[in-house]
Copies of this chain bind each other. A is one copy, B any other.
């Protein structure tokens, strides 16, 4: 079913923003963060205005309401991702979720000589924690290369790398290339060789239904802010088997069972990893975002975004001097289109696009190893989501063509 984009746009107050230079905002920086529908903003406001209270161990009405809302959000979000509330650990985002796997699971379960497999297209969030662990514990980190013609993972190299690996950490979708990795195949091969699997779904979750139970991954990291939710929250989805193997990471209140001056015992399950005052407003906001998203089929969102991205890619290819990194025409690609102009430097291009009201991201996108593989220091990246329109893409292409003609 086609989405009613006009009515969707009406849910996002920011989309009518006029920039200081008088231009209408065209927001094409969705891979960095998405905008938030009014209902998400309102739910957080309602929390602060009517029932703000610390959660857990609640013995008054407000605390009870806040705790209930917090736990209902967990249920809602867990269900959205095809898992149980007990398998969802709230974190501050995908980055903290991956650090939690490193500190809370790998630290306790991997040993010197063990192998972790990454790919060249990982975000720094899925590289640096493993490099640090590698330094500390003598773990070997391997990088699966990408084919720089097709921009896809070298699956032969993957199969070689995974043979004696303990953990495979792969991004569902590249935030730079928009390429969606063959995660089902990656999971299947990893399992064949007995390796556990962490999926970085920061980019995948806004574009595709992530069904944790069906995928049978061990860990999945997600950020709320890229999928209509607020800043400051995300989660780690973790299988019950891996959860059992985990030990404490950050410690303090709430995650304990009993504290004495002699020592402490900890809660079990997700509670062991959620210490301190919870991100209450954030969880409630994310719950509202997931509810908002649930009125659509993720497949429809993907198709809509893909259509714009594919068209934009096609038109960009017609502009002399523009080179695309990735393959927006691929049916599985997400809405991220990375490109460079051969003579207009990327920061300059960003400025000139901004002058037209177009918000695109420019830089290494926290993926320097991928930049190295592509042989460029940075790219410009336009990334689309549910509320973007064909008209926006058309005006973007027309402005880009104009800029290229005048500044090349």
Q: Is A143 an interface residue (CB 8 A)?
A: yes
Closest to A40 in B: B48
What CA separation (Å) do A51 and B351 show in the bound complex?
A: 18
How large, as a class, is the contact surface on chain A?
35 or more
- Known A-B contacts A29-B54, A230-B281, A231-B277; A123 and B253 likewise in contact (beta carbons under 8 Å): yes
Q: Is the interface of A mostly helix, strand, loop or mixed?
A: mixed
A275-307 interface code vs B (CB 8 A; 1 in, 0 out): 111111110000000000000000000000000
Closest to A35 in B: B52
Residues of B within 8 A of A132 (CB): 248, 251
A59 & B372 in contact (Cβ 8 Å cutoff):
no
Contact pick for A59, options B53, B253, B362, CB 8 Å: B362
A14 & B50 in contact (Cβ 8 Å cutoff):
yes
- Known A-B contacts A57-B363, A132-B248, A256-B124; A280 and B92 likewise in contact (beta carbons under 8 Å): no
B351 & A59 in contact (Cβ 8 Å cutoff):
yes
Q: Is A232 an interface residue (CB 8 A)?
A: yes
What CA separation (Å) do A223 and B276 show in the bound complex?
A: 10
What CA separation (Å) do A173 and B308 show in the bound complex?
A: 57
What CA separation (Å) do A49 and B37 show in the bound complex?
A: 9
- Known A-B contacts A41-B49, A260-B368, A264-B128; A62 and B25 likewise in contact (beta carbons under 8 Å): yes
A128 & B62 in contact (Cβ 8 Å cutoff):
no
Contact pick for A52, options B36, B57, B369, CB 8 Å: B36
What CA separation (Å) do A278 and B276 show in the bound complex?
A: 19
Q: Which of A17-60 contact B (CB under 8 A)?
A: 17, 19-21, 25, 27, 29, 32-33, 35-36, 40-41, 44-45, 48-54, 57, 59-60
Residues of B within 8 A of A347 (CB): 59
What CA separation (Å) do A63 and B381 show in the bound complex?
A: 14
Residues of B within 8 A of A124 (CB): 251-253, 256, 259, 264
What CA separation (Å) do A99 and B251 show in the bound complex?
A: 7
Residues of B within 8 A of A20 (CB): 61
Closest to A250 in B: B99
- Known A-B contacts A14-B52, A36-B48, A60-B358; A259 and B41 likewise in contact (beta carbons under 8 Å): no
Contact pick for A61, options B135, B256, B359, CB 8 Å: B359
Residues of B within 8 A of A231 (CB): 277-282
What CA separation (Å) do A225 and B44 show in the bound complex?
A: 14
Residues of B within 8 A of A258 (CB): 368
A369 to chain B, nearest CB (A): 5
Residues of B within 8 A of A41 (CB): 45, 48-49
A52 to chain B, nearest CB (A): 6
A360 & B131 in contact (Cβ 8 Å cutoff):
no
Residues of B within 8 A of A21 (CB): 61
Contact pick for A60, options B52, B233, B256, B350, CB 8 Å: B350
Q: List 14 A-B contacts (CB under 8 A).
A: A20-B61, A21-B61, A33-B54, A33-B277, A36-B48, A59-B350, A92-B276, A99-B250, A126-B252, A127-B252, A129-B252, A131-B251, A232-B232, A259-B369
12 other A-B residue contacts (CB within 8 Å) besides A33-B53, A60-B360, A125-B276: A13-B49, A14-B49, A29-B53, A41-B45, A57-B361, A57-B362, A60-B354, A128-B256, A129-B252, A132-B251, A135-B263, A232-B279
